[in-house]
Structure 1
Amino acid sequence: MADTDNVEMVHEDELPGHESELEPKPEWEPRYPGSGRLDGKIALITGADSGIGRATAALFAREGADIAILYLCEHDDAAKTRKIVEAEGRTAITIAGDIGDKGFCEQAVAKVIETFGKLDILVNNAGEQHWDREIEDISEGQLRRTFQTNIFGMFFMTQAARPHLRKGAAIVNCTSITMYEGQPILLDYSATKGAITAFTRSLSENLIDDGIRVNAVAPGPIWTPLNPSGGQPEEKIPDFGKGTPMGRPGQPNEVAPAFLFLACEDASYMSGQVLHPNGGSIVGG
C-alpha cells in the first residue's frame, strides 16, 4: 500500500501525468503567510502529489495542518509534495494506491489514524479524464475506470473516513465547471462531476446533524498535469483556458484557497455548497 514502487498504471493513456515533467510548471506556492486556521488539524488529501492537490497540501500545511498525501503512482511528485509540507514545519506521510479499490481506501485511512490518531479534514480531489470526440469512441473500460476513480473512489474514501470524523470535521470534494457548462469531448468525465455535485449535496444533508460539513469546489480550466497528459487533445493545449472571461487558465494556488475556506471555521455556516474558481465564467450554483 504505502510508499511502494509497484502500483500498476491502470489507464488507457499516459494519465496520471507527472508534474515534474510539465512545462511551464504549475504554481503551487501559497500566496500569503499562514494565520493558524488549521492548527492541530489532520487532513487527508487524495491526488495530493501534484496540481490542485499539491497546492492544497502546501496551503493547509502553512495554516497548521499535518497532511496525508494520497496518490496513485507518481512517486517523484509525491516526494516533492511531502518536502513542501515539511518545509512548512508540518508532518506528512505519502500513501500510494488506487482509490478505486475499496480495500486500499480502508487501509489508507487506517494508516492515517495509526500515524496521527485522528482525521479532521477529507479532501476528495483525485480524478481522471480522457477525451473522446464521439460517444461511440468511449470504451467500456474507460467508462468504468473514469467512474471508478472519480465517483466510486470518492464513495470508498468517504466510507472509510466516516467512522473517524467527529463534530467539526469537514469534507471538501472536487467537482468541475464541466458539470455546469457541459463539455462535448468529456462526456464520461463531466457525468462523474455531475454525480460528485449531487453526492456533495446529499452527503451534506446526511451528515449535517452530526456537525460535519460537506462542500465542494468546481474549478474551471486549471494548469495541472491532468490536461496535457491526455485529458485534452494535444492541439488544444496551446489555447487551454483562453476561452474564460479572464483569458487564461488558472493556477493551482488560485484554487487551493477555496478548499481552505471550506475546510476551516471561516465556512462554519456553509454546507452543501459549491465554490467556483473558474476565471469569471458565470454558471448556475
Structure 2
Amino acid sequence: MVLTVDGLRMRYGDTEVLHDVSFDAGPGEVVALLGPNGAGKSTTIEILEGFRLRSAGRVEVLGVDPAAGDERWRSRLGIVLQSWRDHGNWRVRELLHHLGSYYAPYATSAEPRPWPTDELLDAVGLTAHAGQKIRTLSGGQRRRLDVAIGIVGRPNVLFLDEPTAGFDPEARSEFHDLVRRLAAEQDTTILLTTHDLDEASKLAHRILVLTAGRIIAAGTTAQLTKLIAGEDEVRWTIDGRPFRKSTEDSTAFVRGLFATYGEAVAELEVRRASLEDTYLALVREQS
C-alpha cells in the first residue's frame, strides 16, 4: 500500500480530535475525505504530510513514517493547500521552472523529475498566461497555478485540499480530467479533501466520511448510497391519480409498471438517492 493508517489518534491537551482512524490507499487510487468543518480532515492530512506529530497509531506513506521522512521522501509528495499568498512578482513560467529545479537531484531513470515546465503549463491550462506576473492572475488562474506547484515534481502521492475552490465549471472539468490522468497514467495516489460532493463522486474510487474524528463510513459512491438510502423513489400518475413507490430496484419496477398499465402511465419520475442524501444522513446520525 502507498498509504497506510492504522489506529491513528490525535490529542490536543484533553481534547481528542482523531479516534482510531484507519484506512489505506494503493497506487493510482483516488480517495476522498469528506466531513463537516472540525471533523479532523486537515489534522489527518497534516499528519500524513509529516507536518504534525500524531499522538498514537501507525502511519506510513510510501513505506516511511512521515514523522521520520527525509528530503528525498518529501520530494515524492505533492501538496495543494487551500490557498497560497506569496510569489506575486514572479512570472508563472519562471516560478514553475525555479521550483522544478529543486526536484532535479532526486530524479531517477524510473522517476524523471521535474515535470517539464511547458508540459506542466499546458496540463493545467496556463500556457497563455506563462509570462504574466502572478499577482495579475484571476482567482481561477491562480488556483490552477497552485495545482501546478503541487505537481511540478511528478509526485507519487498528491494531497489536494479543496483543489477546485474558485474554479469556473470549465476549469473544474479540466482539472478533473487532469486528476484522472495523474491517477491512471502515472499511478499517482491522490488523497482529496473537498466539500463538493459531486466532485468526490466523480473523482474518487473510494470515499471516507469523517465526523467528530471518526471514520463513520467508507466505500464507493454506490456502496455508501446503498448503505443509508438503499431505496429509490418512483412517482407516476394513472388517469390523473398520483402514485409513489419506494423500491430497491427501480428499473425492474418501472418495467413491470409499463407491462401492467402500458401507456396509461404518465408523469413518471425516478429519484435515485444521491451521495449528498447519503452524506447528510450519515452526518445527522452522528450529531
Structure possessing the higher radius of gyration over alpha carbons:
2
From the two aligned structures, give the one with the greater strand fraction: 2
Normalising by structure 1, we get a TM-score of 0.31
Normalising by structure 2, we get a TM-score of 0.31
